[in-house]
Amino acid sequence: MPNMSAAAASGEFLLYRRSVAIDVSSTDQTLAEYGDAILITTTGNLVVRLIGDTTDTALTSVAANAILPLQVKQITRSGTTAVGKILYVK
């Protein structure tokens, strides 16, 4: 069994402490605080604006239960069909 304390200290995995549901039902979702990752709960397409970008990035056919290590500032309504959550380390 791996030493979990050593793994945590080396950054081999992150523990997410809270989440916010992705909600693009009426408009783009601009995040007040940048997320650390995205958990996809229902397969679909995801259109995001990464924190360092000025244009959107489209991800197609993202599988359910995928955790995407992306820091995003916006989930764009147009083109997003996936359901999921924004994950936060802090």
Mean pLDDT for the chain? 88
The 10s digit of each residue's pLDDT in 28-60 is: 999 999 989 999 999 999 999 999 999 999 999
| Residues 24, 10: Cα–Cα separation, whole Å | 36
pLDDT of residue 14: 66
| Structure-token match 């997410």, residue found | 16
pLDDT of residue 88: 92
* Helices within 1-90 (DSSP H only): 4-10
Q: Is residue 22 part of a domain?
A: no
The answer, as to whether pTM is greater than 0.85, is: no
Q: Is residue 88 part of a domain?
A: yes
Q: Is residue 45 part of a domain?
A: yes
Q: Is residue 62 part of a domain?
A: yes
Domain count, the chain: 1
CB distance 42 to 65 below 8 Å: no
Q: Which strands, in side-by-side order, build the sheet including 29-30?
A: 29-30, 72-75, 44-50, 57-62
pLDDT of residue 13: 57
Q: Is residue 6 part of a domain?
A: no
For residue 47, what are the domain limits?
Answer: 29-90
